[in-house]
Amino acid sequence: MKNDSVTKMWEEYRKFHPNAPQQYEAWAFGDSKEMADELAKLVLEGTKTATSSNYTIYELENEELPYVGLHNIILDGDGGAVAIAVTTSVEIVSFDEVTAEHAYLEGEGDRTLNYWRAVHESFFKKEFETINKIFDSKIPVVCERFELVYK
């Protein structure tokens, strides 16, 4: 069953952007309702303009990586559409090569690289536990930047 709020938001967006692609992705940040709500709020405020994800999960699930121009409908913790963001860059780097600039653009916590590393190491360790893999500082990370285009 399609999410009505996603469909409605996409139809409203396309009224003003008729040349927008037919395809889009709809997803929520994180692994909990609270995290999805908190990070969606940061996107709406303009504080969060980047995200990072575990490359290994894309590989295992045979899922397409984000790409420049991808339209993303951001969901809140209840699965409601709250914003549309367009991917502006995608880079795959090892965990220990994620930059302070990227950490800042993610907009979380105190926006430092140390904060980013602590939070994401914990998050990625939990993901790896579910697939019987071990986290290390050389895991590939998908670093994605985006621009808020509709809310």
Give me the CATH number covering residue 90: 3.10.400.10
Q: Report the pLDDT value the prediction gives residue 2, as an integer from 0 to 100.
A: 56
Q: Report how many domains make up the chain.
A: 1
Give the tens place of pLDDT for each residue, 126-136. Answer: 999 999 999 99
pTM for this predicted structure: 0.91
Distance, in Å, from the CA atom of 125 to the CA atom of 80, rounded to the nearest integer, reads: 28
Report pLDDT for 86: 98
Can you give the residue range of the structural domain that contains 100? 4-150
Residue 34 scores a pLDDT above 70: yes
Length of the chain: 151
Q: How far is C-alpha 22 from the geometric centre of its chain's CA atoms?
A: 20
CB distance 54 to 101 below 8 Å: no
Burial (CB count within 10 angstroms: exposed 0-12, middle 13-18, buried 19+), residue 145: buried
Q: Tokens for 96?
A: 């220990």
